[in-house]
């Protein structure tokens, strides 16, 4: 895969990076930011194309058009590089989720349905799936990073759902004794629906998936008296 792309501006960033290498002085703030972007983009492409184990810092530097010294000024090692890439992607995905959040609804039922759809949508996203495979590889080679990403992914979702259970639960006639536990059970249930759809070969049937998710949410909310 070529490192430069017109759409995301990496080609321009690499050009600036090359200019920064040729300059005897320190790069300007704009040049440094362009180098940062090109390095992250090169690392992301390399990790996704070759995996964590096969990717080297030399390869990332070459792909970004910077020297190894420039790369190591920013990241101590490949693990730090991977952590930066993953945090950047999580931030980007969170920004997209926040823009979609305006359609969450104003009742507990609607909000849980929204989260079920959102989790399903993200589980089908090609980039998210690719990073999921990368993280699974890291459990054996960069376990600390894999654990960190797993914690961030789950914790963020739990925080949002728990907050809504606390806020919208009473409006639905229920005050959960342990909102965090209810949020955890909800995520576990959605994960179970996804496994059922995968095992039954219906994961790609959006109509079936939506029906199953709605039924699961309805049953979950119907049992709110036990919360």
Q: 112 and 179 share a domain?
A: yes
Q: 151 and 214 share a domain?
A: yes
**Structural domain count, the chain:** 2
Residue after which a domain boundary falls, among 29, 49, 75 = 75
Residue 3 forms part of a structural domain: no
**What pLDDT, in 10s, does the model give residues 157-206?**
899 999 999 999 999 888 999 999 999 999 999 999 988 988 898 888 88
**What pLDDT, in 10s, does the model give residues 18-38?**
444 444 567 788 888 888 999
Q: 26 and 46 share a domain?
A: yes
Neighbours of 60 (CB within 10 A): 26
Residue 118 forms part of a structural domain: yes
Q: 59 and 99 share a domain?
A: no
pLDDT of 96: 84
Residue after which a domain boundary falls, among 75, 101, 132 = 75
List the domain range (segments joined by +) for residue 22: 10-75
pLDDT band at residue 12 under the 50/70/90 scheme: very low
Read off the pTM: 0.69
Q: 129 and 17 share a domain?
A: no
Question: Among residues 96, 95, 114, 94, which one has the least CA distance to residue 104?
Answer: 114
**What pLDDT, in 10s, does the model give residues 44-89?**
999 999 999 999 999 999 999 999 999 999 999 999 999 999 889 8
Q: How far apart are CA 172 and CA 194, in angstroms?
A: 27
Q: 26 and 135 share a domain?
A: no
């Amino acid at each position: 895969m070529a490192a430069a792309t017109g759409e995301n501006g990496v080609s321009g960033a690499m050009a600036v990076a090359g200019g920064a290498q040729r300059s005897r002085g320190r790069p300007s703030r704009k040049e440094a930011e362009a180098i940062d972007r090109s390095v992250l983009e090169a690392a992301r492409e390399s990790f996704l194309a070759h995996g964590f184990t096969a990717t080297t810092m030399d390869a990332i530097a070459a792909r970004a058009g910077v020297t190894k010294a420039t790369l190591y000024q920013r990241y101590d090692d490949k693990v730090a590089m991977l952590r930066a890439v993953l945090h950047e992607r999580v931030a980007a995905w969170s920004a997209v989720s926040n823009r979609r959040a305006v359609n969450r609804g104003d009742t507990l039922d609607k909000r849980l349905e929204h989260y079920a759809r959102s989790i399903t949508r993200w589980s089908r996203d090609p980039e998210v799936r690719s990073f999921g495979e990368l993280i699974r590889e890291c459990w054996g080679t960069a376990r600390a990073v894999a654990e960190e990403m797993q914690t961030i992914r789950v914790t963020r979702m739990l925080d949002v759902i728990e907050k809504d259970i606390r806020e919208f639960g009473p409006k639905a006639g229920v005050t959960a004794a342990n909102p965090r536990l209810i949020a955890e059970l909800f995520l576990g249930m959605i994960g179970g629906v996804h496994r059922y759809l995968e095992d039954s070969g219906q994961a790609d049937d959006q109509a079936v998936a939506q029906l199953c998710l709605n039924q699961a949410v309805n049953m979950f909310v119907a049992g709110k008296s036990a919360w």
